[in-house]
Chains A and B, each alone.
Chain A
Amino acid sequence: MRGPSVVECRSIQKTYPTAEGGFLAVDGFDLTVGEGEFLCLVGPSGCGKTTILKMLAGLLDPTAGEIQFADGAAHRSLVFQEDALFPWMTVAENVAIGLSQSEEDGQGRAAATARFVDTVGLARFANRYPHELSGGMRQRVNLARALVSAPRLLLMDEPFRSLDAQTRLLLQEELLRLWQRTRQEVLFVTHDIEEAILLGDRVVVMSGNPGRIVADLPIDLQRPRDLTGRAHPDLAEMKWTIWKLLKEDARERLSAHA
């Protein structure tokens, strides 16, 4: 782990209230994110990784435990999946929402918005509506919206999940390209093991329900990463290591229920 920790989660627990008394989504979760670290959180559906992300984003409160941010890191943005753009706002207006908490005046906001719309390559589409864009383009708007306020911590909730393979590759490249420039802390949630390895400095593996960490692996692959995977001969081995962990755990849970 590089540098002092920027985010610390200590013994996080989250129980959702239900008719039967409560659904324990996450239990005893500890995590730290180091300075400039691109951390991937990988796990199967339902393991609570989105819950963790929402708690870090401030959308949910933990039932127990605490989350601590170092100075400045509390300024965080969440990148949603592609259907989270407001359909009734143009690309530019959607991106400007990212500046809702900014103290800048109208002109400053317009300039920052235009800059980020341009950075993700959508300058020509600034006044179009989301329904006129492809999935990949919509996701770029989501990225721009999250980045426009220059957040210290970038939280990403399976952002490329609904994209086709080619578009996903392009957007992964774009994400890394943008990240190299600002090098903020990133917490990237995904169920795709290969994606987690190729993007992250560190992969934290979570298991089923209630979610807990089963492994925390540093990724020593050189940057810039080759997202097709060809330049990294160890990739297959690492994928297998992580998959084994998840498989064992899934099997355990199946037999525990049986």
Chain B
Amino acid sequence: MVVLVFLAVWEGVARLELMSQLFFPPPTRVISTLGELIWSGDLWPHLWSTLRIFVTGFVIGASLGTALGLAMGASAPIRTVVDPLVALVHPLPKIALFPLLLIMLGIGDAPKIAIVAIAAFFPMTINSMAGVNQIGNVYFEVAGSFGMRRRDVITRVIVPGSLPMVFAGARIALNTALVLAIATEILMSNRGLGHLIWLSWETLRTPQLYATLVVIALLGWMIQRGLEVLRRRVIPWGSE
């Protein structure tokens, strides 16, 4: 409701030329530009390019991160070895690593996917490890007292017990991964939603810029909604 009022005010102010239409085009123009992008078919290759990099990078980074995080949580020796490495690399702004990856992996999709993977990796590692650590001790006592095999303790206690925090990590990781996918496209690409933003800036087509932002926002929203739906199915037990 508030959003509609806000948009209406914006529309009015822009049309009355109280604000520069270059910086703040009226929402109606943004929407019509968006419509053009869609119907002309120009949007889809860019969207597809971004999605490809985002999904590939996320899947690689998140699965490695989750596996390592669970291992670190379950095994003190692994944690002792890996924790310092994580603590050292995690604070680095991932985008700062992009030039390094360009040197190592060349120009093309590989460095972008790598950055996205790294961006997804750290939140998943940290949250998965925390997920294991917050599993109450009593559950391990129960497992021990009924003689559960080590393999079953991992699959039936450690993994399900850490799932709520794994999903919390995924929420962050998905967001960061998308941000970085777009960022790499702004920096170095001729395709993708990030590239489209940059192109709009270069050609001063502000409505197109806004339209692309809308697409990105919608994409991010749908991804988070998708995660939430998945979470409800995978965690039916009312997580604390």
**Chain B residues within 8 Å of A, Cβ to Cβ:** 136, 138-139, 141-149, 152, 156-157, 160-161, 163, 235-240
Contacts and interface: CB of A to CB of B under 8 A. Distances in A.
Contact of B142 (A58, A80, A88, A130): A80
A130 B163 CA distance: 17
A78 B145 CA distance: 7
Given A88-B160, A129-B238, A131-B238, A83 B138 contact: yes
B237 A84 contact: no
Given A77-B146, A88-B163, A100-B152, A129 B138 contact: no
B146 A101 contact: yes
Given A59-B144, A131-B238, 7 more contacts: A57-B145, A58-B144, A59-B141, A77-B145, A80-B138, A86-B161, A98-B146
A77 B240 CA distance: 28
B132 to A, nearest CB: 14
Contacts of A131: 237-238
A87 interface: yes
A97 interface: yes
Interface string A127-171: 001111000000000000100000000000000000000000000
A145 B146 CA distance: 9
A87 B238 contact: yes
Given A83-B138, A84-B139, A88-B163, A58 B237 contact: no
Given A86-B139, A88-B161, A129 B145 contact: no
Given A86-B157, A88-B161, A100-B152, A59 B237 contact: no
A84 B157 CA distance: 12
Interface of A: 54, 57-59, 77-78, 80, 83-84, 86-89, 97-98, 100-101, 129-132, 145
Closest 8 pairs between A and B when the two form their complex, measured CB to CB = A88-B160, A101-B147, A131-B238, A129-B237, A78-B145, A100-B146, A100-B148, A88-B237
Contacts of B136: 83
Contacts of A83: 136, 138
Nearest to A99: B146
Contacts of B161: 86, 88
Contacts of B152: 100
A101 B139 CA distance: 17
**Chain B, interface SS category:** helix
Contact of B146 (A87, A88, A97, A129): A97
27 contacts: A54-B141, A59-B145, A77-B145, A77-B146, A80-B141, A83-B136, A83-B138, A84-B141, A84-B142, A86-B156, A86-B157, A86-B160, A86-B161, A87-B238, A88-B161, A89-B156, A89-B160, A97-B146, A98-B146, A100-B146, A100-B147, A100-B148, A100-B152, A101-B146, A129-B236, A129-B237, A130-B237
Which of B138, B157, B160, B237 lies at the interface centre, i.e. has the most chain A CB atoms within 10 A of its CB? B237
B201 to A, nearest CB: 49
Nearest to B145: A78
Given A88-B160, A88-B163, A97 B142 contact: yes
Contacts of A132: 238
A101 B152 CA distance: 12
A156 B240 CA distance: 27
A134 to B, nearest CB: 14
- Looking at B139, B146, B160, which has the most chain A CB atoms within 10 Å of its CB? B146
Contacts of B144: 58-59
Contacts of B238: 87, 129, 131-132
Nearest to B234: A88
A131 B240 CA distance: 10
A43 B2 CA distance: 63
Contacts of B237: 87-89, 129-131
Contacts of B149: 100
Q: Which of B141, B142, B145, B149 has the most CB of A within 10 A?
A: B145
A78 B138 CA distance: 12
Contacts of B160: 86, 88-89
A80 to B, nearest CB: 6
A86 B145 contact: no
A84 B135 CA distance: 12
